[in-house]
Amino acid sequence: MTQRSPGRLLSEHAGIVEAPLDEVRDVLLTVPTGRLRGADIPLVIGLQGSQGVIISGGPGTFTAQVAGVTLTVDVDREADWVQARGQWWWCGRFQLEEHPEGTLVRQQTYNLATGPIARLVPFTVGRGNRTNGRRALTRVLAVLTEDHGWQTRLLPG
């Protein structure tokens, strides 16, 4: 299933988790199935408040029902990434890499649109992708600190 990139990269943010790659991988790349709420929802899907999520499928590709929207969640443990794809243009990926201080986590937002409409995405539905991607990574790093006690930090950029 290894896939370099699912589309055109719109934005990328990075942070450090002061924990071994194997441990971070077990948290970020695990996608449970069933009716999930709260902390059981995979981090790649984001905060859903009291909203429940239904996830089926696996082990590499899952379907998630989130507030009436269907997302496809892909996991590639060999390539160390998990991504959620939704609607017609969006893909958010968390890519993990070994780092001298622990694990580097990259949050990447991709434009999946094709044809002439793909050029319009950054100026229309995708215009908030940079802010939203940074917010998603900040939230994931905060959860890793709160739930696992790992020191984390957002890198500039």
In tens, the pLDDT along 74-116 reads: 999 999 999 999 878 899 999 999 999 999 999 999 998 899 9
Question: What pTM did the predictor assign?
Answer: 0.92
Distances (CA, A) of 138 to 29, 54, 61, 93, 98: 17, 24, 25, 14, 19
Sequence ranges of the domains in the chain: 8-30+73-154
Give the model's confidence band at 39: pLDDT under 50 very low, under 70 low, under 90 confident, else very high. confident
Residue type, 26: D
Considering the four listed CATH numbers 1.25.40, 3.30.530, 2.60.40, 2.20.110, the one that applies to the domain covering 8-30+73-154 is: 3.30.530
Give the model's confidence band at 3: pLDDT under 50 very low, under 70 low, under 90 confident, else very high. low
Closest CA to 24 of 136, 105, 142: 105
Q: Residue 86's pLDDT is what?
A: 87
